[in-house]
Amino acid sequence: MKKMWKGNHAIGEAAMRAGCQFYAGYPITPQTEVGEYLSWRMPELGRTFLQAENEMSAMYMIFGSYACGMRSMTSSSGPGFSLKQEGISYMCANNYPAVLVNVQRWGAGLGTLDSSQTDYLRDTRCGGNGDCRVIVLTPNSIQETIDLMYIAFDLAEKYRNPVEILTEAALGQMMEAVEFPEFKERTEDLGW
């Protein structure tokens, strides 16, 4: 049965159902509600939520948690994602999977809270210094965000590479009637 969900909350719930065991992030609008939702939802299921002291720390925390075999995710917005680029590049260089969520906002510098696709070129053509690439999934609805989140962890582990869900402020803030898939856990050993 479909229920009304806010986009950012749906991102968090979809990550939980996809098997996310560890989340590290830093609050930055318009994605702050992703972390707020996970801050109480993850402990309910015995999983780990950490609010990092900055964007770079959050990136390296998920680097370490995936090194320990935990399905891990971070989220941010444009200016914060810029700060994560070095960590993304290190994850690519070391063949570490991760799920990254970018809830974009418009404008250069600190930007504004309006909706935009200003991070599109950086995120789809780059993904960190040194010519590394990440898999980028770009949903067009909250339901599609949920569906893509559900496969993002599998893609990250299959290709041993970060996978980014590139959404934006309008999807993060609006509400939509959605259905969530059942909870799933990793069924295969990563082999490393």
Domain residue spans in the chain?
Answer: 3-178
- Report the C-alpha gap between 162 and 127 in whole angstroms: 9
pLDDT at residue 120 greater than cutoff 70? no
- Report the C-alpha gap between 96 and 35 in whole angstroms: 22
pLDDT of residue 178: 98
Q: How far from each other are the two terminal CA atoms of the chain, in whole angstroms?
A: 39
Helix 85-93 crosses helix 55-67 at what angle (to 10 degrees)? Answer: 20
**Is the alpha carbon torsion for 139, 142, 62, 17 positive or negative?**
negative
Model pLDDT for residues 24-39, shown as the tens digit of each residue = 999 998 999 999 999 9
What value does the mean pLDDT take over residues 13-27? 97
Cis peptide before 30 (omega within 30 of 0): yes
Residue 131 amino acid letter: D
CATH topology of domain 3-178: Rossmann fold (3.40.50)
- Report the C-alpha gap between 136 and 49 in whole angstroms: 24
- Report the C-alpha gap between 59 and 52 in whole angstroms: 9
Predicted confidence band of residue 124 (pLDDT cuts 50, 70, 90): low
Predicted confidence band of residue 192 (pLDDT cuts 50, 70, 90): low
What value does the mean pLDDT take over residues 12-16? 98
Rg value, the chain, Cα: 15
The vertex-37 CA angle with 138 and 76, nearest 5°, equals 45
118: which 2 tokens? 């200003």
Q: Rounded mean pLDDT of the chain?
A: 89
Model pLDDT for residues 97-119, shown as the tens digit of each residue = 999 999 987 665 555 555 555 66
Model pLDDT for residues 129-167, shown as the tens digit of each residue = 777 889 999 999 999 999 999 999 999 999 999 999 999
